[in-house]
């Protein structure tokens, strides 16, 4: 059963989520920056050679898994790891909705239906 957040509960959880997403974005950016180097190593690799960059990337992939696991345990879904887009499941008038937050926003102030995604975001004032 999912954890259902109120807007207030989501905002209380936000500092912890923001810290995790900060680390997720930094790790994601490191992985993306290493991509050209890793692609070159893989293209030249015919044996079990490897490289320092590949080793760092493997560690970063493990870190991403750990961060995503911590966020999921909070009951929050990461929708886009490259922008820090996250959804908190909530109940409104007996149906599930998402409270939507993107990294850099000061508060959880948006929501959308499960099927509309980010493009269907509306301000939480409309939930009243």
Q: Write down the pTM of the prediction.
A: 0.84
Distance of alpha carbon 63 from alpha carbon 26, whole angstroms: 11
pLDDT along the chain (128 residues), means of 10: 94 98 95 76 56 77 94 97 96 96 98 94 92
| DSSP one-letter code for 125 | G
Chain position carrying tokens 């680390």: 23
User: What are the tens digits of pLDDT across the range 54-83?
Assistant: 777 788 888 999 999 999 999 999 999 999
Residue 59, pLDDT score? 85
Q: Does residue 45 lie in a domain region?
A: yes
Find the domain containing 68 and state its range.
7-127
Question: What are the C-alpha distances in Å from 69 to residues 9, 28, 62, 66, 110?
Answer: 20, 15, 11, 5, 24
Structural domains of the chain, count: 1
In a domain, 1, yes or no: no
Q: List the beta strands (DSSP E) in 10-109.
A: 76-80, 85-92, 95-102
């Amino acid at each position: 059963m999912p954890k259902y957040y109120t807007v207030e509960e989501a905002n209380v959880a936000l500092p912890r989520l923001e810290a995790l997403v900060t680390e997720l974005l930094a790790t994601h950016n490191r992985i993306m920056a290493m991509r050209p180097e890793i692609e070159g190593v893989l293209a030249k690799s015919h044996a079990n050679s490897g490289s320092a960059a590949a080793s760092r990337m493997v560690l970063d992939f493990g870190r991403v898994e750990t961060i995503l696991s911590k966020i999921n345990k909070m009951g929050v879904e990461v929708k886009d790891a490259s922008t820090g887009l996250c959804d908190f499941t909530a109940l409104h008038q007996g149906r599930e909705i998402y409270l939507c937050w993107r990294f850099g926003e000061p508060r959880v102030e948006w929501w959308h239906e499960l099927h509309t995604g980010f493009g269907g975001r509306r301000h939480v004032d409309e939930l009243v």
